[in-house]
Amino acid sequence: MARRGSWRRRMVLLLTLAMVAGGIYTAVAFLQRSETLIDERCTAVGDGGDALATDQAANAGLITAVAVQRGLPPRAASIALATAMQESKLRNIGHGDQAGPDSRGLFQQRPSQGWGTAEQVMDPYHASNAFYDALMKVSGYQSLEITDAAQRVQRSAYPGAYAQHEAMAKAFASALSGQSAAGLDCTLRSPDAAGDPAVVQAELAAAFGAVPASSDGRTLLVEAGGTQAWAVAQWAVANAKSLGITEVQTDGHSWSREARNGWQASGAQAGQISVTVAGAPEQ
């Protein structure tokens, strides 16, 4: 009887351990699938570990797209991104600080110092163009250290502060200007609303200027080649959160919001970018 009781206790213990293990496995699997645990962020190859939040990445995309539209080199975008990160954390903030109480926007530009009206400096397009206008007046800016070039535009009380953002700025500028193909990735939760190709096209035109594009259902087809194709494609990834974008394809590569595995080889043709938006969520 003693042996039989011992055998039963062992069986109960084994069954209990199996149930606990199964419960742990189920819990882990659930947590891995849980949307709420996904850390939404964007990274660029060579960013030094400085990932951007999705709103920061979208602003970085806008600032860089303005440089591309103006035909400026990636170095100009690198200087602009380092400046905006230091001044506003790449966010379009509507307040200044004690040193500049009227400072506003991505670059903390001051209306009192001729950067435009309070409304204008809060417009990211105006602010970016105003920054580049001033940068173009800096002789030999491309050969200067990023922090030195930024300081000559901003005239900050902390002239060396821009240097700490150099790795991030170079990496995101390179990807968003199309110099680094498949260099930018964003990890995102599933969209909670439908996207609109017409809205994507309007935002694209505002950022890059007139770019040939047409809609095919939920997909916007954009005609562009070379570095511009990658600039547009990675701008779309940087804006995927706010625009409900689920997939981007170009030049033999695809990015999928759902897969969350970065750019992967595919049959996407060169000379065209396809940007697909989310449909209406299931009820």
Q: Is there a single domain that holds both residue 186 and residue 239?
A: yes
Q: Are residues 145 and 201 in the same domain?
A: no
Rounded to the nearest angstrom, the gap between the alpha carbon of residue 167 and the centroid of all alpha carbons in its chain is 15
Q: Are residues 191 and 153 in the same domain?
A: no
| One domain for residues 54 and 165 | yes
User: Do 187 and 221 lie in a common domain?
Assistant: yes
In a domain? residue 33: no
In a domain, 64, yes or no: yes
Rounded to an integer, what distance in angstroms lies between the CA atom of residue 239 and that of residue 196? 13
Please indicate, yes or no, whether residues 57 and 149 belong to a single structural domain of this protein. yes
> Residue 4: what residue type?
R
Nearest CA among 171, 90, 167 for reference residue 127 = 90
In a domain, 5, yes or no: no
With respect to residue 31, please indicate whether it lies within any of the assigned structural domains. Answer: no
| Mean pLDDT, range 263-281, rounded to an integer | 95
For the chain, what is the domain count?
2
Same domain assignment for residues 143 and 158: yes
Domain that holds residue 155: 44-176
User: Is 29 part of any domain?
Assistant: no
Q: How confident is the model at residue 4 (pLDDT cuts 50, 70, 90)?
A: low
- CB-based contact 119:142 (threshold 8 Å): no
CA distance 233 to 56: 17
> What is the model's pLDDT at position 49?
87
Q: Measure the N-to-C terminal CA separation of the chain; round to a whole number of Å.
A: 60
- Band of pLDDT at residue 8, cut at 50, 70 and 90: low
For residue 1, pLDDT beyond 70: no
**For range 73-89, the mean pLDDT:** 97
The answer to whether residues 56 and 163 belong to one domain is: yes
pLDDT at 28 over 50: no
Residues 171 and 186 in one domain: no
Q: Domain boundary at 127, 161, 176, which?
A: 176
CA dihedral 100→105→108→113, nearest 10 degrees, is -70
Q: Worst-scoring range by mean pLDDT, 2-6, 41-45, 191-195?
A: 2-6
Residue 17 placed within a domain: no
Show the tokens assigned to 142.
């491309």
In a 3-state reduction of DSSP, which class is residue 265? strand
**How far is Cα 18 from Cα 178, in angstroms, rounded to an integer?**
52
Burial of residue 96 (number of CB atoms within 10 Å: 0-12, 13-18, 19+): middle
Same domain, 154 and 191: no
Q: CA dist 78 to 19, 159, 170, Å?
A: 55, 16, 5
Beta partners for 186? 42
Q: 111-164: per-residue pLDDT in tens?
A: 999 999 999 999 999 999 999 999 999 999 999 999 999 999 998 888 889 999
**Shared-domain flag, residues 199 and 142:** no
The string over 244-263, giving b where at least 16 C-beta atoms fall within 10 Å of a residue's C-beta and e elsewhere, is bbbbbbbbebbbbbeeeebb
Is the pLDDT at 250 greater than 70? The verdict is yes
- pLDDT value of residue 6: 66
Examine the pLDDT at 255 and tell me if it is beyond 80.
Answer: yes
- Would you say residue 195 lies in a domain? yes
Query: Which uninterrupted H or E stretch holds 149?
Result: helix 146-154
Q: What is the pLDDT of residue 34?
A: 65
Q: Is 10 contained in some domain?
A: no
Q: Are 157 and 176 in contact (CB under 8 A)?
A: no
Share of the chain above pLDDT 90, in %: 79
Q: Are residues 50 and 73 in the same domain?
A: yes
Take residue 201 and report the two structure tokens written for it.
């096209």
Name the phi and psi angles at 244, rounded to 5.
65, 35
pLDDT digits (tens, 9 = 90+) for 203-226: 999 999 999 999 999 999 999 999
